[in-house]
Homo-oligomer: A and B are copies of this chain.
Amino acid sequence: MADPRFFQKAGPFTLGELAQLTGATLSDPAAAGKALTDVAPLQDAQAEHLSFLDNKKYASFFKATKAGACFVRPELAADAPAGTVCLTHKNPYKAYAIAAQAFYPQPKPETFRAPSAVIDPAAVIGADCHIGHGAVIGKGVKIGDRSRIGALAVIEDNVEIGADCDIGARVYLTHTVMGNKVRLHPGAVIGRPGFGFAIDPAGYVAVPQLGRVMIGDDVEIGANTTIDRGAGPDTVIGQGTRIDNLVQIGHNVHIGKFCVVVSQTGISGSTQLGDYVMTGGQSGFAGHLKIGAGAKIAAQSGIMRDIPPGGEVMGSPAVPIRQFMRQTAIWSRISLKKGQDET
C-alpha cells in the first residue's frame, strides 16, 4: 500500500467499474461486483488488490500472485492463478495507469499566493493559481488559470505559461512561451542563452541568442534538465513530448510531438527530431542533424548522421541496430577465440 503520509487513496472500485473505466475485459464476468481497495505489484498484492503484468520478465510473479485481479494481455490470461481475476487488455500497462489514477487521483493545487513570493505588479496571473513560497515572478509574466508555481521558482520577465501547468520548485524560466498542461520538474533551467560564440584567436565573441523556447501542450520536462533558447530561430519542444532528468538540449533544437527523451541525453544545436522519436539514456546527438519520425536511438548511442524515419540505431558512432548486433557478435567470437589461442 502506498504510504498514507505521501499519498491519498480513493476507492474502493468494483471490477466492473475498473473494466469500464479502462476498456478491459473481465475473464470472469461474474466477478464484476467484486470490490478492490488498492493497487500493488504482483509479488506484494493480496486478494483486495489490483495488479498488472506488462514486462514478461515478471511472468513468474504473475503465476504466483495473490492479487484479486490483474491487467494482462489476453494471450497470457491462462497463466493466472485460481484466485486472480484477469482484466485482459492489449495494453495492460496503460489500463493499469488509468486504474491507478482512479485509486490515487492527482491532488489539485490549492489556490494560494505565498506572502513570501515576489510577484511583479505587472504580472498577469489567472484564476485559482498556486504561487509557492519565495517564488519570483517578473514583469509582464502571464500565467494561465489553475497553474501551480512551485516554491522558489524564478520566472523572468514576459515568460508565458498556459493553464493547468505545474512548474516545479526551483525551476528557472526565461525567454519561454509554453502551452497548457506543461509539467516542469524541480531544478530545470529553460531559456538561457546557448553555447553560442565565434571562435577567434583573440578570444571568443558571444553571439546574441535571439530566439525563445517554445513548449507545446502537455509536455513534461525532468529535474535539473537544461534547455537553451534559440540563437535566432526558436528552440521547440513539441506537444506531448516527455523529457527526462538531466537532459541537455541545445539552441535551435526542434523536437517533434510525442517524443521520449530519456535521462542524460544530449542534443546539440539545430538538430531536429521528428515526431515520436525515442532516445535512450546518455545518447548524444551532433548538431544540425535530421532524425526522422519514429526513429529509435539506443542508450549511449552517438549520432553523427541523419537517421531516416523509423530508423533504429545503436553504438558510438551509431549504426543500424542489426549491424551493431552483428559487430558485437563478431567481436565476441574474435576476442574469445584469440583469448583461447593465447592460453
Contact = CB atoms under 8 A, between A and B. Distances in A.
> How many copies of this kind of chain does the complex include?
3
Given A226-B224, A323-B336, A327-B335, A205 B97 contact: yes
A186 B299 CA distance: 28
B226 A226 contact: no
Contact of A327 (B93, B114, B198, B331): B331
A203 B208 CA distance: 36
A209 to B, nearest CB: 9
A103 to B, nearest CB: 8
Contact of A133 (B104, B118, B207, B332): B118
Interface stretch (A25-33, A62-70, A74-82, A261-269): A261-269
The interface residues of chain A, by DSSP majority, are classed as loop
A248 B245 contact: yes
Contacts of A192: 168, 185-186, 223
A311 interface: no
A127 interface: no
Interface string A254-266: 0000101011101
Contact of A232 (B41, B151, B244, B245): B41
Interface residues of A, number: 108
Contacts of A240: 203-204
Interface of A: 2-3, 5-7, 39-41, 44, 55, 57, 91, 93-94, 96-98, 100-101, 103-104, 106, 114, 116, 118, 132-134, 136, 140, 150-152, 154, 157-158, 168-170, 172, 174-175, 185-187, 189, 192, 195, 197-200, 203-208, 210-212, 218, 222-224, 226, 228, 232-233, 240, 242, 244-246, 248, 250, 258, 260, 262-264, 266, 268, 281-282, 284, 286, 288, 299-300, 302, 315-317, 319, 322-323, 326-328, 330-332, 334-336, 338-339
Given A136-B169, A203-B258, 5 more contacts: A39-B210, A189-B245, A268-B281, A282-B282, A315-B316
23 contacts: A6-B175, A55-B288, A93-B207, A94-B205, A116-B134, A118-B134, A132-B136, A151-B154, A154-B170, A168-B192, A185-B189, A195-B242, A195-B245, A203-B258, A204-B258, A226-B245, A263-B266, A282-B282, A317-B328, A323-B336, A323-B339, A330-B334, A330-B338
